Amino acid sequence: MSIVRCVLVKALLLPLLIILPVLAQAETFVFTAIPDEDESRLQQRFGKVADYLSDQLGVEVRYIPVKSYAAAITAFRNDQVQLAWFGGLSGVQARRLVPGAEALAQGFEDQFFKTYFIAHKSAGIEPGAELAEAVKGKTFTFGSKGSTSGRLMPEYYLRQAFSAAPADIFSRVGFSGDHSRTIAQVQSGAYQLGAVNYAVWENMLKQGDINEDKVQVIWTTPTYPDYQWSIRGDVDQRFGQGFKEKVRTVLLEMTDPELLASFPRKSFVPANNSDYAPIEATAKAIGLIDQ
């Protein structure tokens, strides 16, 4: 190759050598969240979170919505998202599918989460310290099939209380899909009873979306660990050494009251996979995940 041609080739390649590292650095960090409320609420909540993460991490961050808990797990497994706001059960399921995946942070309240059992006033069930025998034979709706607070834990406590599966306790069992719809279905009388995330109930109550003349809380479960941010194990390879820990730090330092209120959480605290061992054990015990 002549000296002139070498010079020309180098001149053409030099811009590419400059541009390629920039392109490599420009990869978008994508996250999702389980659809535990209606989509408009989620877009409002997590659009702001994406802006915060982008500012703090120094990379482009994008939130993508999903239609189901299963879709959130699939997106995490397939690397369509690198970070996800999961419930306790969906987080366990997702991390089992992705080597090196870790729970990074949970809401302060997620250390001792709980489920409300709610009932339409016409069901005639009074609030109590135990699950009343009067719930038997009524109609009942869970939330999503993959929800910790809307399915896993309420089913566990129902089985403990009555030594029977939900289908044998109630006259009809449904799955609303999310906590907002569970409340709406019980409030309308479509179902007499339901199980709902207590934080969603309290938030909707505060916003005036619940008519307590029609629906009430009749029982509260013991506490358990629930929601958490989980991250894939390969993010350092893609976004640079130490990126995972940077994400953890940024989540723990989220102190903006407006951002926290949208979850709603008062703060985020450290979490790790072992915190969710009780959720995994419960899911195995009632057959929702394999041993």
Residue 24: CATH number of its domain: 3.40.190.10
Answer yes or no: is 231 within a domain. yes
b (16+ CB within 10 A) / e for 191-227: bbbbbbbbbbbebbeeeeebeeeebbbbbebeebbbb
Could you read off the pLDDT of 227-281 as tens digits, one per residue? 999 999 999 999 999 999 999 999 999 999 999 987 889 999 999 999 999 999 9
State whether 40 and 170 are in the same domain.
no
Q: Which helix (H) or strand (E) holds 88?
A: helix 88-97
State whether 246 and 211 are in the same domain.
no
State whether 76 and 150 are in the same domain.
no
How far is it, in rounded angstroms, from Cα 194 to Cα 144? Answer: 12
State whether 103 and 128 are in the same domain.
no
State whether 233 and 212 are in the same domain.
no
State whether 100 and 30 are in the same domain.
yes
Answer yes or no: is 124 within a domain. yes
Residue pair 35/178 in contact by the 8 Å Cβ criterion: yes
Q: What is the pLDDT along the chain (291 residues), one digit of tens a residue?
A: 555 444 444 444 444 444 344 334 468 999 999 987 666 677 777 889 999 999 999 999 999 999 999 999 999 999 999 999 999 999 999 999 999 999 999 999 999 999 999 999 999 999 999 999 999 999 999 999 989 999 999 999 999 999 999 999 999 999 999 999 999 999 999 999 999 999 999 999 999 999 999 999 999 999 999 999 999 999 999 999 999 999 999 999 999 999 998 788 999 999 999 999 999 999 998 888 876
Per-residue pLDDT, 8: 42
Find, among 137, 87, 90, 91, the residue nearest to 113 by Cα. Answer: 87
58 sits in the region (left: phi over 0; alpha: psi -120 to 50; else beta) called left
Give the pairing of strands 268-270 and 102-107: antiparallel
Per-residue pLDDT, 35: 86
Q: Distance between terminal CA atoms of the chain? A: 64
Domain of 145 in residue numbering reads as: 114-220
* Residue ending a domain, choose from 188, 220, 252: 220
- Count: domains in the chain: 2
Answer yes or no: is 4 within a domain. no
State whether 119 and 140 are in the same domain.
yes
Per-residue pLDDT, 89: 95
Give the pairing of strands 215-220 and 61-63: unpaired
State whether 213 and 232 are in the same domain.
no
Residue with tokens 């979490």: 271
* Residue ending a domain, choose from 220, 245, 271: 220
Per-residue pLDDT, 19: 39
Answer yes or no: is 126 within a domain. yes
Per-residue pLDDT, 38: 64
Question: Please, how many CA atoms are within 13 Å of residue 89, restricted to the half-sphere of its CB?
Answer: 25
Single-letter residue type at 143: G
State whether 180 and 122 are in the same domain.
yes
Answer yes or no: is 2 within a domain. no
Per-residue pLDDT, 36: 72
Answer yes or no: is 1 within a domain. no
- Is 277 exposed, middle or buried (CB count within 10 Å of its CB: 0-12, 13-18, 19+)? exposed
Alpha helix stretches (DSSP H) within 163-286? 166-169, 179-188, 198-206, 235-239, 243-252, 257-261, 277-285
Answer yes or no: is 216 within a domain. yes
Answer yes or no: is 3 within a domain. no
* Residue ending a domain, choose from 172, 188, 220: 220
